[in-house]
Amino acid sequence: MQHLIDRFIKYISIDTQSDPENSAFPSTEKQWNLGRLLVEELKEIGLKDVTIDHQCYVMATLPSNVDYKVPTIGFIAHIDTSPDFSGENVNPQIHHNYDGKDIILNKEENIILSPSYFDDLLMYKGQTLITTDGTTLLGADDKAGIAEIVTAMEYLIQHPEIKHGEIRIAFTPDEEVGKGAHQFDVEKFGAEWAYTMDGSEVGELEYENFNAASGKITIKGKNIHPGYAKDKMVNSMLIANEFIAGLPTNEIPQKTTGYEGFYHLNSMQGDVEKTQLQYIIRDHDMELFEKRKQLFMETAQNINKKYAQDVIEIEVKDQYFNMKKMVEPVLHIVDIAEQAMKNIGIVPKIKAIRGGTDGSQLSYKGLPCPNIFAGGHNFHGRYEYVPVESMQKAIDVIIQIVQLTAEKYQ
């Protein structure tokens, strides 16, 4: 356990936040710091063909130790952390034998991680939790996944009696800004299928995700001295309010669950002269997804008609699509992961991701890629935490998957 804790803390101590406003790849130079560290570590534990390319993709191989043909499979996690909350100077707190009560993350600022609000904490009584100090995110998304993959590979190297085919691993930049698979070289990776270790609680196994688009609204106003503004001023902020009110009020993240899609306003900046709104649009069903995008654009067009001018400029861009279409024809790869969990006493929780994953884009690039739990909770904010026992179970699942795959093709 301590070896895993030390490895995880080493990774989260490196700030790797990506930047959605930067078109460079990777979007931040600091992602290279972890990428290069991983290259050296993978070499040290004994992996082969360890590379980092000019765009910060890290890849490595654990050669097969059987004398018969087994499909090459892969495990993938991402280097970057979310730009939604600070990832600089992460100061992790370790709580052994959690007692099920409130955890004071930051006494000075009265920041408390409480099971009265986050009731999933109660699942981990008696376990070892790693939390933030309340001032940053933790980075379990997805450095827990990285730690699990590296530790599993290290264990397999140290235990050659565990039979497996060739295993490829990869760590990607810029997943949190939707670009993690954009430059991923599927042919170079060379796996028949793979798994991203990027889910949340123990048992999660996912091969469905949102169809996703971004929406950018730019509203142009006219700023006139308020004392002389009658019939002349156009306040872009008030028009922005009209646009927001024109979308379904109950179809937002905090009021939807399961397969329900939403519109999410995640940024708003403006003054009288100009206001910009940034949205994300999500739905699992492709037909409903297209209708959402259409309503989004029609709302802007109707406001333009009302003002008899183009006060609103709109830009909608597709980001990724539901991987279900690409995974269903090879559903045995999900079956293997499901059986791996059952073999070690985990109840699989097969459900749709209310989000995205590198696996979505990779599946459409020819690498079917379901998603497996990495163990963390409350990603992208100050209340993020991960039970160490959950990380250990993720390692066990990886080991079971490679064993079951080797047995299946024996």
**Structure tokens of 117?**
């609000």
Please tell me the distance from the alpha carbon of residue 169 to that of residue 150, in angstroms, as a whole number. 9
**Calpha distance 130→84 (Å, rounded):** 20
Distance CA 257, CA 268 (A): 24
Q: At what angle do helices 140-158 and 388-408 cross, to 10 degrees?
A: 50
**Considering just the CA atoms, what is the radius of gyration of the chain in Å?**
23
Q: How far apart are the first and last CA of the chain?
A: 33
- Catalytic-role residue among 15, 174, 175, 176: 175
Among residues 376, 373, 396, the alpha carbon closest in space to that of 385 is found at 376
- Catalogue the E-assigned strands of 140-261: 167-172, 193-199, 204-208, 211-220
Active-site annotation holder among 15, 19, 80, 142: 80
Is there a catalytic annotation at residue 80? yes
SS3 (DSSP) at 88 = coil
Evaluate whether 284 touches 259 at the Cβ level (below 8 Å). Answer: yes
41 noted as active-site residue: no
Give the DSSP per-residue string, 233-270: -B-HHHHHHHHHHHS-TT-SGGG--TT--EEEEEEEEE
Question: Are 284 and 208 a contacting pair, CB within 8 Å?
Answer: yes
Catalytic site positions: 80, 175
